[in-house]
């Protein structure tokens, strides 16, 4: 009986040890995730028109890594953080849609946020690009400097006394008021 007990104990220990190897760790693996690119769905960005902003995260480690990418501009976060799941040595791409509210210069920033920052190199976690958003007052998809009727009132800019006011187009008495 003593021999059987020893065999069962060894067998039981072998099963217990092999079972432990199959149980995944609850903690996220650590390693370096970097941002490898940021791009836009169009080169000409117009106010009020949707533009898709893409970001690609590169997993520089031998482990599968989790995290998120944040898109922002000088006024705050664009949309919500996008989750990433990058296999070892591979990339994961995410995007957000943004509607620029007005024309002008914007600095678009993407930041990768690893779930476990232990072995992360923070020097490669951010990409920032300055872009110019062209004016499109009537949001018709034609930039104002190319639009024959930029206020969309049906009167061409050349014939419109108020080309930037869709409610006015004539000044019959010359007082500057339509």
Give 163: exposed, middle or buried? Use CB within 10 Å, 0-12, 13-18, 19+: buried
- Kindly state the DSSP code that residue 144 receives in the 8-state scheme: G
Residue 20 has pLDDT above 90, yes or no: no
Q: What is the pLDDT of residue 93?
A: 98
SS3 assignment, position 173: coil
State how far the Cα of 54 lies from the Cα of 37, in Å rounded to an integer: 8
Residue 87 has pLDDT above 80, yes or no: yes
State how far the Cα of 174 lies from the Cα of 61, in Å rounded to an integer: 72
Query: Could you tell me which of 170, 136, 130 has the C-alpha nearest to residue 150?
Result: 136
Query: Could you tell me which of 107, 110, 113, 101 has the C-alpha nearest to residue 33?
Result: 113
Question: Of residues 170 and 72, which shows the higher confidence score?
Answer: 72
pLDDT tens, residue by residue, 107-120: 999 999 999 999 99
Name the one residue in this structure whose structure tokens are 């997993």: 59
Give the range among 72-81, 128-137, 153-162 with minimum mean pLDDT.
Answer: 153-162
Query: Could you tell me which of 90, 140, 130, 92 has the C-alpha nearest to residue 112?
Result: 92
Residue 5 has pLDDT above 80, yes or no: no
- The first and second tokens of residue 78, run together, are 């664009």
Q: Residue 158 — pLDDT band, cuts 50, 70, 90?
A: low
Contact partners, residue 9, CB within 8 Å, separation at least 6? none
pTM over the 0.75 mark: no
pLDDT tens, residue by residue, 99-145: 999 999 999 999 999 999 999 999 999 999 999 999 988 777 877 77
Q: What is the pLDDT of residue 17?
A: 41
Question: Of residues 15 and 166, which shows the higher confidence score?
Answer: 166
Q: What is the pLDDT of residue 138?
A: 78
State how far the Cα of 117 lies from the Cα of 115, in Å rounded to an integer: 6
Q: What is the pLDDT of residue 15?
A: 44
């Amino acid at each position: 009986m003593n021999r059987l007990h020893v065999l069962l104990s060894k067998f039981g220990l072998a099963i217990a040890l092999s079972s432990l190897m199959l149980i995944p760790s609850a903690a996220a693996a650590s390693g370096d995730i970097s941002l490898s690119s940021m791009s836009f769905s169009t080169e000409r960005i117009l106010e009020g028109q949707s533009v898709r902003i893409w970001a690609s995260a590169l997993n520089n480690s031998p482990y599968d890594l989790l995290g998120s990418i944040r898109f922002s501009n000088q006024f705050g976060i664009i949309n919500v953080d996008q989750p990433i799941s990058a296999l070892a040595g591979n990339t994961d791409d995410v995007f957000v849609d943004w509607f620029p509210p007005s024309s002008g210069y914007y600095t678009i920033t993407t930041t990768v946020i690893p779930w476990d920052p232990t072995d992360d190199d923070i020097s490669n976690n951010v990409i920032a690009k300055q872009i110019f958003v062209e004016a499109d007052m009537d949001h018709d998809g034609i930039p104002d400097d190319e639009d024959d009727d930029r206020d969309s009132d049906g009167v061409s800019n050349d014939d419109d006394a108020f080309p930037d006011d869709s409610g006015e187009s004539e000044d019959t008495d010359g007082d500057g008021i339509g």
